[in-house]
Amino acid sequence: MNLSKLFELLESEINKDFTKTKVLEYKSPKEMIEHLDLDIQNESNGEKDLYKSINKYLSGSVDTAHPLFSNQLWAGRNYPALISEFVTSLRNTSVYTYETAPAATIIETYMIDMLCKKMGFKEGDGTFLTGSSNANLISLLVARNTLFPEIKSKGLSSLPELCFFVSEHSHYSFEKAANVLGFGEDNVIKVRADENHRMIPSELELSIKNSIDEGKKPFYVCGTAGTTEVGAFDPLIELQEIAKQHNLWFHTDGAWGGALIFSNKHKHLLKGIENSDSISWDAHKLMGIPLICSVILLKDNNQLLPAVCEQTSDYLFHEHEYDDLDLGKKSIQCGRRVDSLKLWLSFKYYGMKGYEERINKMVSLAEYLNHKVNSNPSFELLAPTTYCNVNFRFNPEFDLSLEEINGINLNARDEMYKEGTALFNYCYIDSKLSIRFILANPDVNTTDLDNILEIFQSKCEKLIALTV
């Protein structure tokens, strides 16, 4: 197999000069369909067409490694992790048995142990899985089956309605999990948060009492460490005390904020996380590991296996001296990609210190952007910046309606997207459209941020001229 075209492609992508490229070449869905030439023929299209199609995919995609991509909670490129991802595909194994995935089994076991210890779980357990939506679901499953072991065989139908508590700013995966697990979405109780988006402990107490009065059976509380929208950290210790009084499972959704455990400077935001029963964390977010790299961690190493394991697959799980190591028994997946290699190798490459510096840099950049926004009278901060989310809007001193301001911010943002200048996201905070800028790419610098703000402001000003 002649690999020269592949090497050319990798060279040009990995060593790209982003000052000369856009975040994307926008195409409407109709244009994209034409661009891609989707049809599959009966005959082989061969090598030449393969690279033609690959180039169409590349030019039709958002370049998430570009410093001006800031739309999601992940961005940028982690070089050793990218190379490891290639290596993972070369060996293409499934991490269910030691027999089929010996090195991967040892690496995953080591990484889970390392992460547990970092989080403060001395005898913890866990597994890599398909994202924190899945991790949150597994935390609910393990809590449910640990507290009510008969559910595993008998199901939920003879039990009272089980309910659980999350912040009103928690991730939407909890509704999905309540649906999947058979609790029902109505049994996700949203607890009120303060103006900084942190769950209010007294409101949790109240919600628990109300649910008991309604005849429901509370069993689980989730504190969020780094909310999706503003990056708020719930007061874990106060919430844990209440959970403990009521004998409820306590989960910390650290999908986004959990990375701070690697920063001595900032890990105080996670204070109390070691007293959680379970923790979700996505290494594919702030640490830049290619999607997907995600774990669920459990404080007690006797819970995961009985909550998910079944014993009828003798074609897969055998009885050799090494079969106790088989990780498939702890997973609700059967075939499962090796997601631990890229995390392990990027930790080794950068060292603990390298990751700490990376994280501290991202928080500093967020502080810088926060400062720039705050010192510009045309901008308004919409939430305090405690982590890597900066929420603001353009709001000049004109007499404009909420709808008009929202429209101007949205249109300016969308124009930049369609021009390929920059891609950042937005959400609504108290009905105000909030530009949600995420700092997750360590190759971003302050000049990039200055430029984006300047372009955004100038677009908004042009739009305002059309409005007033």
Give the tokens for residue 327: 């990780």
Q: For its own copies, give the closer residue by CB, 140 or 464.
A: 140
C-alpha pair distances (Å), 322 with each of 101, 318, 362, 395: 12, 9, 42, 63
What Rg do the C-alpha atoms of the chain give, in angstroms? 24
Residue with tokens 């500093």: 364
Q: For its own copies, give the closer residue by CB, 98 or 165.
A: 98
Name the one range near its own copies by CB under 8 A: 231-239, 241-249, 271-279, 283-291. 283-291
User: How many CB atoms neighbour CB 446 within 10 A?
Assistant: 12
Cβ neighbours of residue 12 under 8 Å, at least 6 residues apart?
Answer: none
Phi, psi of 56, rounded to the nearest 5 degrees? -65, -40
Give the tokens for residue 96: 């269910």
CA angle 301, 305, 307 (to 5 degrees): 110
Instruction: Tell the smallest beta-carbon distance from residue 362 to its own copies (Å).
Output: 17
Q: Which of 427, 451, 455, 461 binds its own copies (CB under 8 A)?
A: 427
* Touching its own copies, residues 286-305 (CB under 8 A): 290-292, 294
Q: For its own copies, give the closer residue by CB, 3 or 466.
A: 3
* Touching its own copies, residues 130-159 (CB under 8 A): 130-134, 137, 141, 145, 151-159
Does the footprint of its own copies cover residue 91 (CB under 8 A)? yes
Q: For its own copies, give the closer residue by CB, 202 or 351.
A: 351
CA angle 439, 256, 203 (to 5 degrees): 120
Does the footprint of its own copies cover residue 353 (CB under 8 A)? yes
Instruction: Tell the smallest beta-carbon distance from residue 310 to its own copies (Å).
Output: 4
Instruction: Tell the smallest beta-carbon distance from residue 174 to its own copies (Å).
Output: 9
Q: For its own copies, give the closer residue by CB, 31 or 454.
A: 31
d(CA 8, CA 41): 27
Instruction: Tell the smallest beta-carbon distance from residue 212 to its own copies (Å).
Output: 15
Instruction: Tell the smallest beta-carbon distance from residue 238 to its own copies (Å).
Output: 25
Q: Which of 83, 147, 381, 455 binds its own copies (CB under 8 A)?
A: 83
* Touching its own copies, residues 429-458 (CB under 8 A): 436
State which amino acid sits at residue 157: S
60 has which bridge partners?
A: none
* Touching its own copies, residues 2-21 (CB under 8 A): 3, 6-7, 9-11, 13-15
Does the footprint of its own copies cover residue 63 (CB under 8 A)? yes
**Contact assessment for residue 288 and residue 78, using Cβ atoms and an 8 Å cutoff:** yes
How many positions of this chain bind its own copies (CB under 8 A)?
Answer: 151
| Sheet strand arrangement including 379-381 | 69-70, 423-429, 432-438, 389-394, 379-381
State which amino acid sits at residue 417: Y
Q: Which of 147, 161, 407, 462 binds its own copies (CB under 8 A)?
A: 161
Q: Which of 70, 84, 263, 278 binds its own copies (CB under 8 A)?
A: 84
* Touching its own copies, residues 394-423 (CB under 8 A): 414, 417, 423
d(CA 365, CA 231): 14
User: How many CB atoms neighbour CB 83 within 10 A?
Assistant: 16
Does the footprint of its own copies cover residue 187 (CB under 8 A)? yes
Give the tokens for residue 93: 């194994």
What's the farthest any 2 CA atoms get from each other in the chain? 77
Name the one range near its own copies by CB under 8 A: 29-37, 244-252, 362-370, 379-387. 29-37
d(CA 8, CA 155): 55
Instruction: Tell the smallest beta-carbon distance from residue 187 to its own copies (Å).
Output: 6
**Contact assessment for residue 281 and residue 295, using Cβ atoms and an 8 Å cutoff:** yes
User: How many CB atoms neighbour CB 278 within 10 A?
Assistant: 30
User: How many CB atoms neighbour CB 13 within 10 A?
Assistant: 13
Q: For its own copies, give the closer residue by CB, 240 or 385.
A: 385
**Contact assessment for residue 281 and residue 129, using Cβ atoms and an 8 Å cutoff:** no
* Touching its own copies, residues 102-121 (CB under 8 A): 102-107, 110, 114
Instruction: Tell the smallest beta-carbon distance from residue 277 to its own copies (Å).
Output: 19
Instruction: Tell the smallest beta-carbon distance from residue 99 to its own copies (Å).
Output: 7
* Touching its own copies, residues 239-278 (CB under 8 A): none
Q: Which of 284, 299, 330, 393 binds its own copies (CB under 8 A)?
A: 284
Does the footprint of its own copies cover residue 334 (CB under 8 A)? yes
Give the tokens for residue 286: 């702030």
Q: Which of 197, 251, 336, 372 binds its own copies (CB under 8 A)?
A: 336
225 has which bridge partners?
A: 233
Q: Which of 125, 229, 253, 326 binds its own copies (CB under 8 A)?
A: 229
* Touching its own copies, residues 30-49 (CB under 8 A): 32-33, 35-36, 38, 40-47, 49
